[in-house]
Structure 1
């Protein structure tokens, strides 16, 4: 019987895992400089947690099942809802604002395609109980800094304030069901479809509102867009608060030294719990799957029966981030092939090579001394000949090879070979650590 991995999943080998770990650690460093702390939630939750948030129609996209106690369970399709549940269970009495971040895998039963898998990873954050728009501005700044640290310099940040459209719905007394249909259409990004649906009068029979929405979602640009939005909606008093908040956000982004943003009134996020500012981040080189992050402000805790508290959050699609990083790396490799070969990353710092069976036990002792001092070390475990040992060290791109010979050991010495220069030096065993660290 032949076993293969399930459709829509992947195996990650050594090189790819190193790159993923590097990306993960970079994101951790950035998030923690903004005082975020890590949490973990279960891989599976009660099915109702996700249907309450996204509706029963989401079930078709889930891996859900009944457990042995006949409870309806689902593998998490995202991590925002589990975080809201965690907050209600554990953190309601914690002083606010609360800053937390998470990294983990999610599962959706979707048709696998390029950039979209059934098991995927999210790296995201939640800021619970901060004032708006300060919280959104800081979150956007953190997302931008993360991308800069990862070397992704072509990302585009698109921002909107859904409070403006929702205020228009309120003024024109649009039913909730119709509101969500319109927001779903906007979120699809198909402006021709949206215009046809709104112009037909089937969804909204007020032509004034239909025309305003068609013109509004078409506005994309820099700060001048705010004036155009104001001209479109200023007669509707209900939009004033959202407009003022949007203007404050733009001013705050400048305080955070962020200039790489686009005001895009067509960003909707497609979920009814988003209440205010929303944003999406694109890397154009990724084509149809160019969105690498999305987020905004919402009140999900109240939906789950908790207190009314505003949250701001976003999540990176970790797999798409990796795709963007790989694209950049391929670009650089094409430009600097030789340099990249010369600068190949070391898998270990030191390779310990015993000359014979007589020196094998001492080799293990030396290897443990190195490891106990935080130096990554590989020791020959296959009893290879010297030539093959050096070939193995080269494949690992080890910085040093410690040659453990019987004659050297009689004087408590070993020979250390610098693999980049080819130089060899006799070093006392009790001086190995100092030699490796300072070479």
Structure 2
């Protein structure tokens, strides 16, 4: 029989030493980036009521969530998402805050879906949200922050694909399909089953122009010139307005020097859940999943009792680390820190020097093994320390450098 006490459950992992250093460095860089642009950090509980995500609200499939009960038998979940709790907070705890509200977060989420964390069921997300404003400038700001976040993590070869949920909804309304059939078409397009899509279209009197456009959705990707090639006559007012809005967002991104990082993908018809307008995903090579996703979700906060437009994105830190490793962009940890050992009668000198180094922002540790100089040198080599200091009883010390003595 296996000793389960020595294993971790499927989908979670220990993050050790160097990997943990890299992860914390990424998180610190993103936190610094977000706050530098006026986003205020927020932290929500790891444990939430199931009703905030499932139940009548029905935002996330119950099969995707880790569920358990509290002491009173109420159904709880480990949060599968960080945007939804922020919507809850804005609708309930900070209703009177002046808008727009710009907030950011870094935290772990727990979900059985593979999209956010690859093969991991626990993964770290970092992201920003802008609540209380509906404008192309706000959506462009969020996409711009996504680009800056990827670059801040050390990736240069990436792309942000931008879609428009309202464009798809608009042409579906024009087609006359029922809500169930619209969802069927969305799933078929997502699976690239175009024969089945055409069969659904043929059950209705859909115009040839509109049918051709729907079947052509997966091929409507590339630069902004695609928008000019779409005839507005057959698509209706809602879809036309969605394209105009998308064009404004692209123009803003172009002015901000972000144009080379973004492209259009009007075939982006992933589950619509709470998205209501602009949607986007970020990709880089070496990773089979998006490294970030986001969009506009104007109806989400209202599910918790407050009408409030919103837009945002979240990035998978675990996916970023995977991309950095596979692209050979992981930086080796610099040799840093010193080990201070001492002869009999020199402890106070060694301790005082250690405290001085730490107070000045350096890394220092006192020898606690007291196994002699050779043991200290061996320890320093194994840990990658810069040098070893040996204090004498008269208060002087001898230095052993990594480059020569270690």
* Alignment TM-score, normalising by the size of structure 2: 0.90
* Contact 2:41/2:105 (8 A) holds in 1: yes
Deviation of 1:12 after TM superposition, in Å, equals: 1.0
Separation in structure 2 between the aligned mates of residue 22 and residue 211 of structure 1, nearest angstrom? 49
**Partner SS state of residue 309, structure 1:** coil
**Larger relative contact order, structure 1 or 2 (CA cutoff 8 Å, min sep 6):** 2
Task: Select between 70-79 and 177-186 the one with higher mean Cα deviation.
Answer: 177-186
CA, structure 1 residues 196+54, in 2 after alignment: closer, same or farther (shift >3 Å)?
Answer: farther
Q: How does 1:208-219 map to 2 (within 5 A)?
A: 208=207, 209-219=210-220
* Contact 1:49/1:81 (8 A) holds in 2: yes
Q: For residue 151 of structure 1, what is the aligned residue in structure 2?
A: 154
Structure 2 regions of 5+ residues with no counterpart? none
* Contact 2:285/2:323 (8 A) holds in 1: no
* Contact 2:104/2:129 (8 A) holds in 1: yes
Task: Select between 245-254 and 107-116 the one with higher mean Cα deviation.
Answer: 107-116
Deviation of 1:110 after TM superposition, in Å, equals: 5.4
Task: From 74, 78, 81, give the equivalent of 2:81.
Answer: 78
Task: Select between 208-217 and 66-75 the one with higher mean Cα deviation.
Answer: 208-217
Q: For residue 381 of structure 2, what is the aligned residue in structure 1?
A: 394
Number of aligned residue pairs: give it.
Answer: 400
Q: For residue 242 of structure 2, what is the aligned residue in structure 1?
A: 242
Q: Do residues 349 (structure 1) and 337 (structure 2) align?
A: yes
RMSD: 2.7
Q: How does 1:414-429 map to 2 (within 5 A)?
A: 414-420=397-403
Residue deviations 1:383-428 (CA, integer Å, cap 9, x gap):
121122122223333234322012x42xxx33344434669xxxxx
Q: How does 1:121-200 map to 2 (within 5 A)?
A: 121-186=124-189, 188=190, 190-191=191-192, 193=193, 195-200=194-199
Separation in structure 2 between the aligned mates of residue 2 and residue 214 of structure 1, nearest angstrom? 51
Q: Do residues 369 (structure 1) and 356 (structure 2) align?
A: yes
Q: How does 1:9-158 map to 2 (within 5 A)?
A: 9-51=12-54, 55=58, 58-109=61-112, 115-158=118-161
* Contact 1:296/1:314 (8 A) holds in 2: yes
Task: Select between 106-115 and 82-91 the one with higher mean Cα deviation.
Answer: 106-115
Residue deviations 1:316-356 (CA, integer Å, cap 9, x gap):
111111101112236x89xxxxxx6xxx512x4222121x3
Q: For residue 430 of structure 1, what is the aligned residue in structure 2?
A: none
**Partner SS state of residue 54, structure 2:** helix
Separation in structure 1 between the aligned mates of residue 31 and residue 221 of structure 2, nearest angstrom? 32
Q: For residue 298 of structure 1, what is the aligned residue in structure 2?
A: 297
Deviation of 1:278 after TM superposition, in Å, equals: 0.7
Deviation of 1:177 after TM superposition, in Å, equals: 3.2
* Alignment TM-score, normalising by the size of structure 1: 0.84
Separation in structure 2 between the aligned mates of residue 203 and residue 121 of structure 1, nearest angstrom? 45
Q: How does 1:200-279 map to 2 (within 5 A)?
A: 200-201=199-200, 205-208=204-207, 209-229=210-230, 231=231, 236-258=236-258, 259-279=260-280
Separation in structure 1 between the aligned mates of residue 347 and residue 85 of structure 2, nearest angstrom? 52
The structure where helix makes up a greater share of residues is 1
Separation in structure 2 between the aligned mates of residue 39 and residue 135 of structure 1, nearest angstrom? 19
**Partner SS state of residue 285, structure 1:** coil
Q: Which of the two has higher C-alpha Rg?
A: 1
CA, structure 1 residues 283+228, in 2 after alignment: closer, same or farther (shift >3 Å)?
Answer: same
Q: For residue 403 of structure 1, what is the aligned residue in structure 2?
A: 390
**Partner SS state of residue 324, structure 1:** helix
